[in-house]
Structure 1
Amino acid sequence: MAGTGILAPLFERLACGESDVAQAFDLQGLLDSVHTELSRLFNTRRGPRTLTSPPSIVDYGIADWSALQQQRSDDRRRLARDIREAITHFEPRLLLGEVQVNPLPEQPQRLSIRLLGELRSGRQHWPVAFVIEPGNEGLEVRHERLD
């Protein structure tokens, strides 16, 4: 986004030509754009390790966590670190405060992820929470609140 120091999401940057100016968003547009990018990010699997430093397009996504044991706190912390790294590199408009990874009460082998932080655009910041849970077509991202 021009003048903010925050890059547009990866797929928006790929879709824009070099001469295109990144789209400026109002608050709802920013929320919708971040929601879409989180859905893409969480539904894309990358290899077990980051291949480049800093991460590039070949590192896009979240490492496969299907082998992790949801009941083990070490595995949940590892997943939270992977999520934080991916969001930091590929969705910088979401400034994460906390990443909560918990088994679903009704389905202990499945996880619920809650992201708490702030949406940011330039010098403006808005508190936000997103919840990521299994859905019918992969992981679904839901906006929980925006104060």
Structure 2
Amino acid sequence: MAGTGLLAPLFERLASGEADVAQAFDLQALLDSVHTELARLFNTRRGPRTLTSPPSVIDYGIADWSALQQQRSDDRRRLARDIREAVNHFEPRLRLGEVQVNPLPAQPQQLSIRLVGELRSGQRHWPVAFVIEPGGQGLEVRHERLD
């Protein structure tokens, strides 16, 4: 959707090296950017507790959940809270409505995470869902269409 008037995040504008730093960011580019940031966030581990309030860059990532029991609903709820906190602080372009944490049917010791919410930029909002599951190179993120 070219011409939406969305701007790329500051880091991406600085890293692009393009002369026109006010270049419009279309919806697909915004989706790709959030996708990339979620992949970084979910593949980065932080300590068991947040060190600063509000969280800062040293708190970036998701707490290690390898000791959690995937079959225990309390552990899955704890992980969902941690994910919600991390996404709210480090990816504000995604307004979460629902965080679903479920064991994978074929591999009950592994988890599937589904984030449902709104992608937002300025006054514009789009429904969106992302699924995070184990892959060959760590956790992989994929986007699901909701429109």
Structure 1 residue 145 displacement after superposition: 1.3
Structure 1 residue 8 displacement after superposition: 3.3
- In the other structure, the counterpart of 2:80 is 80
Structure 1 residue 103 displacement after superposition: 0.2
CA contact (8 A) 2:13 2:21 kept: no
Q: Which runs of 4+ in 1 moved over 3 A?
A: 6-9, 11-16, 20-24
- In the other structure, the counterpart of 2:50 is 50
Structure 1 residue 104 displacement after superposition: 0.2
1:16-31 superposed matches below 5 A: 24-31=24-31
TM-score (norm 2): 0.86
TM-score (norm 1): 0.86
Larger Rg: 2
Q: 1:22 to 1:61 in 2, by over 3 A?
A: farther
Structure 1 residue 144 displacement after superposition: 1.2
Rounded Cα–Cα distance in structure 2 between residues aligned with 1:78 and 1:106: 23
Aligned residues: 141
Structure 1 residue 146 displacement after superposition: 3.9
- In the other structure, the counterpart of 1:135 is 135
Deviations 1:90-143 (A, max 9, x none): 000000000000000000000000000000011110000000000000000000
Q: 1:33 to 1:23 in 2, by over 3 A?
A: farther
Deviations 1:50-107 (A, max 9, x none): 0001111100000000000000000000000000000000000000000000000000
Partner of 1:51, secondary structure, is coil
CA contact (8 A) 2:112 2:131 kept: yes
Q: 1:146 to 1:101 in 2, by over 3 A?
A: same
CA contact (8 A) 2:95 2:118 kept: yes
Rounded Cα–Cα distance in structure 2 between residues aligned with 1:55 and 1:15: 24
- Higher relative contact order structure (alpha carbons within 8 Å, sequence separation ≥ 6): 1
Q: Which amino acid aligns with 1:72?
A: R
Partner of 2:25, secondary structure, is coil
Q: 1:35 to 1:80 in 2, by over 3 A?
A: same
Structure 1 residue 22 displacement after superposition: 7.0
Rounded Cα–Cα distance in structure 1 between residues aligned with 2:121 and 2:133: 26
Q: Name structure 2 gaps, 5 residues minimum.
A: 1-5
Q: Name structure 1 gaps, 5 residues minimum.
A: none
Q: Which amino acid aligns with 1:8?
A: P
Give the superposed CA RMSD.
2.5
- In the other structure, the counterpart of 2:9 is 8
Identity level (%)? 86
